Chain A
Amino acid sequence: MSSAPFVVVVYAAASVVLVGLGVRGLVARPNLLSKVIALNVTGSGVFLLLVALARRRPDAPDPVVHALVLTGIVVAVSMTAMAVALVRRLHRDTGQTRLPHEEQRP
């Protein structure tokens, strides 16, 4: 990556940080809605990495990667909506916002 354009290096570095933060949130936050948000941050990091890498030839970014990420954004929102619906259903039925094996008080 040493010969890559500056903009690619900057956003690729940011994407690595985003993935790290997202994975941290996914594990560290017991609240299920926080976990879904963390999953979305991780996904954004992956998208950012893909699009940054697609820019390595500056005159013409790779449109196949852009199409892939566009598909990814739409699939991510479907996944998120279903996960949020599951969290809300769990909350309605049990009053909990965490998984049973996480420490919790009724």
Chain B
Amino acid sequence: MPAEALDVLIAVALCWLAWRVLADRDLVRSALLYVAFGLLLALAWVRLGAPDLALAEAAIGAGVTGVLFLDAAGALRRRLPTAAQGPRPARRRLAVLGSAAGALAAAGLAVAVAALPGEQEGLARPVEENLPATGVGNPITGVLLSFRAWDTLLEVAVLFVGAAAVLTLRAEWTVRMVARRRPDPLLLGFARAGAPVVVLVSGYLLWLGGSAPGGAFQAGALLGALALVLALAGAVDPASVPGLAQRLLLTAGTLVFVAAALATAAAGDVLAWPHELAYEIILAVETGIAVSVGAALGALVLVAKPPRREEAEGQVPEEA
């Protein structure tokens, strides 16, 4: 009974938080509430038996997305006090229209979900039966890197394309200014002392992904967080990383993945990992993915802010 009460509590709190996130006119508060929403969602993943998702949600869904929103909300609010409030009738019309659209979407979804069978076998059993062939013990890793490896390859490519698009929209790194303004000795010392530990934990998560919750994306999220802390503390200037190194870091996952696919295809296993080497290949591909995920997440946050107008017009940025 207490477990059921907890589920109801989490579900109600999720709905209430989502309402608060979307109802608040203050974007910064909205962004902060979104972080709370993401962390609560991570709890829901645990309750639904998906610890891999909980790890990813807490780091990527709540962490990285929250930082993106918070940073943007702060920037938009600074330059735009309260001037751009639309005329009242237009706001009310939008609210009515939005409520109608939301109610319609929810009602349609509810009807569709209610019509589904309550008991469903799903693919849990086939995955379990075929998992030994992948060489890994964690079914999520098996699905991601073996059964549906093609999806994961394209997912890593999407992350790279996203980072490339953000880099194109902005030609200068945000954090350089932050770091120059406030060189905090405590933060710097903490970042330097913590970095090796984070790299170690990240490697452990990566290795653990073979048999337990964890894996390339969770490990990569940790590396991305490390990149952020190092840049914010001023220990590393992201702009000083050479262009070639940036490109290699961002594409490592895709490159290793494609190289592994081509090599196994040349050896006769087209779109399949050879049985005896499957575990080693998956581990190598995951390592590449973790590096790329870390680099891409770091880049997505660090460069989300566009250059100041005078700088953009005045000079050609030294890198793009």
Contact = CB atoms under 8 A, between A and B. Distances in A.
B299 to A, nearest CB: 9
B41 interface: yes
Given A51-B48, A74-B159, A24 B68 contact: no
A89 B128 CA distance: 48
Contact of B102 (A27, A48, A104): A27
Interface in A33-56: 33-34, 36-38, 40-41, 44-45, 47-49, 51-56
Contacts, number: 300
Contacts of B86: 30, 102-105
Chain A, interface size category, equals: 35 or more
B79 A91 contact: yes
Given A1-B118, A40-B65, A56-B118, A66 B52 contact: yes
Given A74-B159, A88-B304, A6 B7 contact: yes
A2 B114 CA distance: 8
Nearest to A81: B300
Residue among A4, A16, A53 with max Cβ neighbours from chain B (10 Å): A16
A27 B308 CA distance: 30
A20 B76 contact: no
B165 A31 contact: no
B197 interface: no
Interface in B207-224: 217
Given A20-B105, A64-B147, A82-B162, A27 B97 contact: yes
A77 B98 CA distance: 24
B27 A19 contact: no
Contacts of B99: 24, 28
Nearest to B111: A16
A77 B300 contact: yes
B162 A7 contact: no
A99 B15 CA distance: 28
B113 A49 contact: yes
A16 B109 contact: yes
A12 B113 CA distance: 8
Contacts of A45: 18
Contacts of B133: none
Given A19-B105, A85-B165, A63 B127 contact: yes
Interface stretch (B87-95, B198-206, B226-234, B259-267): B87-95
A94 B137 CA distance: 53
Contacts of B98: 23-29
Contacts of B79: 91, 95
Residue among B169, B170, B297, B308 with max Cβ neighbours from chain A (10 Å): B169
Contacts of A73: 53, 56-57, 60-61
A3 B122 contact: no
A70 B114 CA distance: 25
B178 interface: no
Residue among A64, A77, A84, A95 with max Cβ neighbours from chain B (10 Å): A77
Nearest to A64: B123
B18 A21 contact: yes
B166 A70 contact: no
Contacts of B169: 82, 85-86, 89
A63 B73 CA distance: 36
B318 interface: no
Pairs A-B, 10 closest by C-beta atoms: A28-B98, A20-B106, A24-B102, A78-B162, A3-B118, A62-B122, A27-B98, A4-B118, A63-B139, A25-B22
12 contacts: A14-B15, A16-B109, A21-B102, A47-B41, A56-B119, A69-B50, A71-B144, A74-B158, A78-B296, A85-B306, A87-B76, A104-B84
Interface of A: 1-4, 6-8, 10-31, 33-34, 36-38, 40-41, 44-45, 47-49, 51-57, 60-71, 73-82, 84-89, 91-93, 95-98, 102-105
